[in-house]
Structure 1
Amino acid sequence: MDYDASETPTSATPAADRTDGADGGSSEEQTVLLHGDLDLWILEARRLPNMDIDPYVTVSLAGATVARTRVISNSQDPNWNEHFKIPLAHRSRLIDFHVKDNDVFGAQLIGTVSIPAALVASGEFIRDWFPILGPSGKPPKPETALLVSLQYKPVGSNPIYDHGIPGDPEKLGVRDTYFPMQKGGLVTLYQDAHVREGELPEIELGKGTKFEHNRCWEDICHAILEAHHLIYIVGWSVYHKVKLVREPTRPLPPEVENFTLGELLKYKSQEGVREGVMQTHDEDARKFFKHSSVICVLSPRYASSKTKPKFFGSSRTENMYLVMPEVVGTLFTHHQKCLLVDTQASLNNRKITAFIGGLDLCDGRHDTPQHRLFSDLDTVFLNDFHNPTFAAATKGPRQPWHDLHCKIEGPAAYDILTNFEQRWRKATKWREFGKRFKSVSRWSDDALIKLERISWILSPSSTVPNNDPSLWVSKEEDSETWHVQIFRSIDSGSVKGFPKDVHEALKKNLVCRKNLVIDKSIHTAYVKAIRSAQHFIYIENQYFLGSSFGWPSYKNAGADNLIPMELALKVASKIRAGEQFAVYIVIPMWPEGVPTAASVQEILFWQGQTIQMMYETIGQELKSMNVENAHPQDYLNFYCLGNREEKPKGDLPLDDQPSEKSAAVYGYRMSLWAEHLGMVDDRFKEPNSIECVKFVNEIADENWAKYSAEEVRPLTGHLLKYPIKVEVDGKVGPLPNQECFPDVGGRILGSPTTLPDTLTM
């Protein structure tokens, strides 16, 4: 894209002359809501102060950074020519372009271009040179300017959001992501690590079919046993002592029925199966696999410039590399959890099958929908007791664990394999360090099995693309076929294989920020799904905070993801349209750990800010639309999970302190609700209805009352209303006389601390 560099700069608002919103600002400088997509090109700058600068540009609204170019070294006239597709959900007066000089000791501001948000909101195509104004309100040099091109399209006028993702007539899934939507797949859905026979009620799907409650860890165990060529595992934690099958529903070979995961992997490696275990936790696993054919890599999340790798290994050919970062690299951790194995395909062929989701193969994760606290601690949960809230407890209560997982077969499984291979190659760094560690380098070159060399393993190749029908496991006309798309959040500090050239990265829908290349497709998918939702949204998540640019306070905290604001704006749009819409969000009562700990309290504080921002947005919309007898909790509700159970008598004292595919998704949600609410009810069939919302809240409120009472009474399921009080205007506070969590303490709405924000966001 070429532009005439002689164009006259357009005037922009000097930083020193800005006014606040509607009070005194010009009509162009009013605060407006930009809820839609910004198509932006940052092209070039001219006549920057001197040659000894390394310029780059950041773009911000309401204090949130939404785009950042790469750094160009030693240039007064840098040419970035970078394209950004930016989802916006911000109330702002200006869009600010900060031109900065990258420096070893931090960036220095050269100047700012400010474009009125009201001008952008008009949807006009804008392309011009804008003067770069320094803190004094004047350009550093005459004609110092930035060339940009942009156009904004609001959600309401973008047809891509008119239907849900499955209803896309072009069947392209979520656009602008690294991995495309893949056809010809099969998906098996799991809730919890195991479901015992009869533990959940039957879910009718119509046409005489019932939802099948699958058993995650049992399926994983059998998949490992049946692998012929490869077993790849990645997780936040992989614990070799964990036992996968404890209450079997189908037989295991006698010689392995009591094996732990570690023993099972060693057993398979002796059959010649290629195994790789990659994790970001547990030194014990490294030691356990040290003298075996199982290759184990500890792989913390780090940016490539922030580590000092250290390697450990023996003189054997089969070795393990341990990559250990310095302290700065341990502030963040990946939570990817997946298992890849080869499984039986058609005829005598093999295919790749992937298990992904929220369940790590580690201690404390095995659980069933009953979520036992004291029962079976000496059998099912023997040597697998985990409760970080009561560090000294050894006889219960165990910490219940609920999570979701799935099995993916078909072309999308190979995208998951690509993710594993990219992370593995980065973690092992065999190309960079192989010569230095010759005695342990050979396995690195050959550790990842080369599928294209094994003719009977179906796999993509230079002649067979990922979406080739030869990789399909179901036909388009089959009622059980799935379209599957893989999303992730990861950067070039943790994977090997991302393009280094910014334009090549953009072709793969990756985002470049200074010296990192980022895949943020999870965020892209969330935004698309929320904007496209028609009737209701149901979310289970380990954490829930974000959109800090809209918080009541701490607006510059840096938690800039759009998800909470998108949810609130979705509800607001439905209120304006006069339509009922419901959002159900299930989160932990508190993040894992001790609720009085400073880190947990700060996370709860950020969470409280997020929740209040959402309810206030909805409350303001109800007021502006004059909706009578309505409350924000008619549309948005937060829940947590809990259980009460009598201590067993005797010697277990507590220590002190629709279509087939849509039918499957419907059945999965109904099964989750049956677990959480302890029943199946016809009202659950229309989750957007006010009758369903009020019924769920009635059960959840009663469960919280039972949970927080002195007397132990059984709950109806496990769903509790999150213990906060929401006013009609959206203000959030603690329940009367319940500012802290029962028994364990810690403020429910958290407290700000002096910890660095990067530790808790």
Structure 2
Amino acid sequence: MASIQLHGVIDATIFEVDKLPGGWWMSFLKVLYSYKLKEIFGYKASARLYATIHLDNAKVAATRRLEFDKDSPPQWQQSFHIYSAHLATQVIISFKVTGFQTTQVIGRAYMQAEELLSGKPVDKWLEILDEKHHKPLSGAPKIHVELRFSRATAHPNWSQGIKTPDFPGVPYTFFTQRNGCRATLYQDAHVLDEFVPKIPFPPGYKPHRCWEDVFDAVSNAKHLIYIAGWTVYTEITLIRDPRRPKPGGGITLGELLEKKANEGVRVLILIWEDKTTVEHISGKNGYSLSRDEQILPGYKSPLHHQKIVVVDSEIPNGESSSKKRRIVSFIGGIDLSDGRYDNQSHSLFRTLNTVHRNDFYQNGFSDASILKGGPREPWHDIHCRLEGAIAWDVLTNFEQRWRKQGGGEDLLVHLSEHGDIFIPPSPVLSPEDSETWNIQLFRSIDEGAVDYSWPNEFHHNVFFNLDLVNGKDHAIERSIQDAYINAIRRAKNFIYIENQYFLGSSFGWNTQGHNLGKVGAWNLIPKELSLKIVSKIEAGERFTVYVVIPMFPEGIPDALPVQPILFWQMMTMDMMYRDIARAIKAKGLKVEPKDYLTFLCVGNREIKKSGEYEPPEKPKDGTDYSRAQKSRRYMIYVHSKMMIVDDEYIIVGSANINQRSMDGARDTEIAMGAYQPHHLATTQPARGLIHGQRLALWYEHLGIFDDTFLKPESIQCVRKVNEIAKKNWSLYIQEKLDDLPGHLLSYPIEVLHDGQVTILPGSEFFPDTRAPVLGAKTDLLPSVITT
């Protein structure tokens, strides 16, 4: 059977099964329901029938689960909009029964993948076969399906970017695109006054300071402060720059929130990891905290990972006496917690007696302490502030989550009852304003974490129209992955990514002799990127993807779960580079795979200066901690979750590029996708605030500006970046100690001409550790934890 690259969209409908088959399972269920044992034993004795769609081994859709009826076969009549990037031989429809704490495959039906290539609907009654022997089931039941495949390259938006200012956004999502908004983009929690990049910034660009803006927003709230995060640590201070003091800026976050609660502001907090310091004020004066406990002791799965602040705010440019209020929201990667405060210098040692004296954070050593000194773990992140109707969508998300997981409806501020105060969702900028934004909200979430408040007469077409998928008796929303896929497919010239993790598309991995079993890292993003590059190579066009990730995931680098995550990451990189290398070879080009796709990380190294903090203790000799302290180096932890496409479209949020964040039924995530309609890359390169954000980030990482950076898709640019990063890596690992001229480092892997990812000579282990760069597979942790 031929393997077919099904890169595009499969519109599928599973209608019904024509009859229930024989066999012991069906006989058992018929007896069970005939004697009404279900009524006796309740839900535990119930059985439900459903169907799934697989492309070879990768599950891509599942129907809702229908109660077993001994007199009537199931009729789902359910449609799906399936993004695919799989190399598959077959489409497999599985007929299943779940109940009694088990799930059984009744049978499977098969269709050859090549049947879909015509692009026309394929409407068939398929025989349901025995899973083991592939023979018709007793009674010869059939399942009615319709499938239609549309190639990604045939879509009118393929490689066209955002063609017009009225681009409607990503289809089939819970939240529609909002126009006339404003977005403020942040790099890191703080920006020093002396960070003045010598680059050609677009008009209107200026650096913004995230935690200063959050402090102002919370301080000025009159009615509500809603916070959601993976963690909230109330002992931190948001204002630390001595050259930028603010009235009341010396108090902690907890003191600020308690002060606002005492003023009558409703303060609601949803967190996953409890830092305990919130509890002394929880429940006071409208202050309420809700948190979830860990599911597995010692491991974090699943997580409530959204990072949100929602407040009421004054009307900009309004009268000072006006009581009118609006909603302003913050989302992104930065939790209000310890270790997050940092600026573009990302110092390891030089701030331990100033802004990090009471906020020493280092998660890479088991015994790290301010008493033993640096290096601290620098933190690089991306965040944003949203104004306009989009801010109300973030509010809606919080309210839905609070109703499900928080303190119920009563604690929420019902804005409809304050119509004389709150202006309704409306544009904050006119369509003619050159600084206006169009913004859309995306999520990874399911009904276990959010109250959708469906109407009683809920119809399955709502699932299709919102691109919701079925989990175990609940809806799953994964529009963040859909947004990434749409943006990658639209991309014309280049993509720049910063993300805490990078793994996925396990259906395309080269197993290299490993028994990967059911890894289940199905998200399409890595494969979408490599297929985009391949299409550009085949078309004779330039295209470059830059990916900045941490040197290694946070934690002890030679231990669990870091090593298996690194292994999955290596498998992902290897898959992508092999795709690219095959395309290069087929075209006979004299280029390298890294001319199209480059992985980078960031790190710092500092010489000792006079007046530096002197710790009273020292780390134990022979440890990673001791070696890093002596070599005066450490990675800068990349916690960003951002993608920039052609300098005209940006995604910022809390979602990592891994299965946990993109699945929808695992970690809860939030993100926004945005563009400025007056700054599109239609006839000339985009030069709006997204372009300014990328240049500022590159200046932070590289420490220089070069004219080639204005055309990041060019081979001159990618080779320039790779050259600088390679030189910085050499300086980072050499014995001679000196300050690095820039933070950007080549990711320490070797990419062979055939795309194989292997050990970089001299860099089998991360500096100052015995942790293998390529990671190691383990069976000690389930892949649901590490993917």
Flag whether TM exceeds 0.5 (same fold): yes
Specify whether residues 285 and 298 from structure 1 end up closer, same or farther in structure 2 by C-alpha distance, changes over 3 A only. Answer: farther
Aligned-partner Cα distance in 1 for 2:283–2:103? 47
Aligned-partner Cα distance in 1 for 2:729–2:298? 40
Code of the residue aligned with 1:288 in structure 2: it is: H
- Give secondary structure in 2 for the equivalent of 1:593: coil
Code of the residue aligned with 2:436 in structure 1: it is: T
Q: More deviation in 91-100 or 287-296?
A: 287-296
Q: 1:23 matched to which residue of 2?
A: none
Specify whether residues 737 and 251 from structure 1 end up closer, same or farther in structure 2 by C-alpha distance, changes over 3 A only. Answer: closer
1:288 Cα offset (Å): 2.9
State whether residues 641 and 720 of structure 1, in contact with CA within 8 Å, keep that contact through their aligned partners in structure 2: yes
Structure 1 stretches of 5 or more lacking a match? 1-28, 301-322, 431-443, 461-465
Q: 2:11 matched to which residue of 1?
A: 39
Of 493, 504, 512, the match for 1:546: 504
Tell me whether 1:193 sits opposite 2:189 in the alignment: yes
- Give secondary structure in 2 for the equivalent of 1:569: helix
Matches within 5 A, 1:222-301: 222-247=216-241, 250-253=244-247, 256-290=248-282, 292-293=284-285, 295-300=287-292
Aligned-partner Cα distance in 2 for 1:555–1:697? 35
Code of the residue aligned with 1:101 in structure 2: it is: V
State whether residues 699 and 716 of structure 1, in contact with CA within 8 Å, keep that contact through their aligned partners in structure 2: no
Of 307, 331, 354, the match for 1:379: 354
Code of the residue aligned with 1:171 in structure 2: it is: F
Tell me whether 1:601 sits opposite 2:563 in the alignment: yes
Of 608, 616, 621, the match for 1:647: 608
Tell me whether 1:632 sits opposite 2:604 in the alignment: no
Determine which structure has greater relative contact order: mean sequence separation of CA pairs < 8 Å that are 6+ residues apart, divided by chain length.
2
- Give secondary structure in 1 for the equivalent of 2:172: coil
Aligned-partner Cα distance in 2 for 1:294–1:720? 48
Code of the residue aligned with 1:450 in structure 2: it is: H
Aligned-partner Cα distance in 2 for 1:169–1:407? 22
Write out per-residue CA displacement over residues 651-670 of structure 1, whole angstroms, 9 at most, x where no aligned residue.
62563429457411100000
Q: 2:57 matched to which residue of 1?
A: 63
Q: What TM-score results when the alignment is normalised by the length of structure 1?
A: 0.87
1:210 Cα offset (Å): 5.8
Code of the residue aligned with 1:54 in structure 2: it is: R
Of 484, 492, 503, the match for 2:447: 492
- Give secondary structure in 2 for the equivalent of 1:388: coil
Matches within 5 A, 1:468-617: 471-497=426-452, 499=454, 501=458, 502-553=460-511, 554=516, 556-617=518-579
Q: 1:342 matched to which residue of 2?
A: 312
Matches within 5 A, 1:87-106: 87-106=83-102
Specify whether residues 83 and 198 from structure 1 end up closer, same or farther in structure 2 by C-alpha distance, changes over 3 A only. Answer: same
Code of the residue aligned with 1:505 in structure 2: it is: F
Of 415, 418, 421, the match for 1:454: 418
Code of the residue aligned with 2:48 in structure 1: it is: D
Code of the residue aligned with 1:729 in structure 2: it is: D
Specify whether residues 263 and 711 from structure 1 end up closer, same or farther in structure 2 by C-alpha distance, changes over 3 A only. Answer: same
1:161 Cα offset (Å): 2.5
Specify whether residues 424 and 329 from structure 1 end up closer, same or farther in structure 2 by C-alpha distance, changes over 3 A only. Answer: farther
Write out per-residue CA displacement over residues 39-90 of structure 1, whole angstroms, 9 at most, x where no aligned residue.
1111111212235452211111131110011111113510111110001101
Aligned-partner Cα distance in 1 for 2:549–2:704? 20
Q: More deviation in 497-506 or 192-201?
A: 497-506
Aligned-partner Cα distance in 2 for 1:378–1:329? 33
Of 184, 200, 205, the match for 2:180: 184
Write out per-residue CA displacement over residues 548-603 of structure 1, whole angstroms, 9 at most, x where no aligned residue.
00111127410000000000000000000000100000001111101011210000
Code of the residue aligned with 1:43 in structure 2: it is: F
Q: More deviation in 283-292 or 336-345?
A: 283-292
Q: 1:331 matched to which residue of 2?
A: 301
State whether residues 535 and 580 of structure 1, in contact with CA within 8 Å, keep that contact through their aligned partners in structure 2: yes
Aligned-partner Cα distance in 1 for 2:574–2:517? 13
Of 619, 630, 640, the match for 2:581: 619
1:759 Cα offset (Å): 1.1
Cα RMSD, aligned residues only = 2.0
Specify whether residues 169 and 40 from structure 1 end up closer, same or farther in structure 2 by C-alpha distance, changes over 3 A only. Answer: farther
State whether residues 230 and 341 of structure 1, in contact with CA within 8 Å, keep that contact through their aligned partners in structure 2: yes
1:169 Cα offset (Å): 6.3
Specify whether residues 168 and 90 from structure 1 end up closer, same or farther in structure 2 by C-alpha distance, changes over 3 A only. Answer: farther
Aligned-partner Cα distance in 1 for 2:87–2:105? 24
1:445 Cα offset (Å): 4.0
Of 724, 737, 742, the match for 2:767: 742
State whether residues 274 and 291 of structure 2, in contact with CA within 8 Å, keep that contact through their aligned partners in structure 1: no
Aligned-partner Cα distance in 2 for 1:141–1:681? 71
Aligned-partner Cα distance in 2 for 1:146–1:270? 62
Aligned-partner Cα distance in 2 for 1:753–1:509? 35
Aligned-partner Cα distance in 1 for 2:78–2:418? 41
- Give secondary structure in 2 for the equivalent of 1:545: coil
Aligned-partner Cα distance in 2 for 1:328–1:116? 44
- Give secondary structure in 1 for the equivalent of 2:379: coil
Structure 2 stretches of 5 or more lacking a match? 31-46, 626-647, 649-677, 681-685
Q: 1:397 matched to which residue of 2?
A: 375
State whether residues 726 and 732 of structure 1, in contact with CA within 8 Å, keep that contact through their aligned partners in structure 2: yes
State whether residues 531 and 579 of structure 2, in contact with CA within 8 Å, keep that contact through their aligned partners in structure 1: yes
1:286 Cα offset (Å): 3.6
Write out per-residue CA displacement over residues 210-249 of structure 1, whole angstroms, 9 at most, x where no aligned residue.
6201100011101111111111111111100011010056
Aligned-partner Cα distance in 2 for 1:403–1:339? 16
- Give secondary structure in 2 for the equivalent of 1:237: strand
Aligned-partner Cα distance in 2 for 1:204–1:693? 19
Tell me whether 1:760 sits opposite 2:756 in the alignment: no
Q: More deviation in 49-58 or 269-278?
A: 49-58
State whether residues 741 and 748 of structure 1, in contact with CA within 8 Å, keep that contact through their aligned partners in structure 2: yes
- Give secondary structure in 1 for the equivalent of 2:123: strand
Aligned-partner Cα distance in 1 for 2:7–2:16? 27
State whether residues 204 and 210 of structure 1, in contact with CA within 8 Å, keep that contact through their aligned partners in structure 2: no
Q: What TM-score results when the alignment is normalised by the length of structure 2?
A: 0.84
Aligned-partner Cα distance in 1 for 2:164–2:139? 50
Q: 1:418 matched to which residue of 2?
A: 396
Q: More deviation in 734-743 or 388-397?
A: 388-397
Which protein is richer in strand relative to its size? 2
Tell me whether 1:367 sits opposite 2:393 in the alignment: no
- The size of the alignment, in residue pairs, is 682
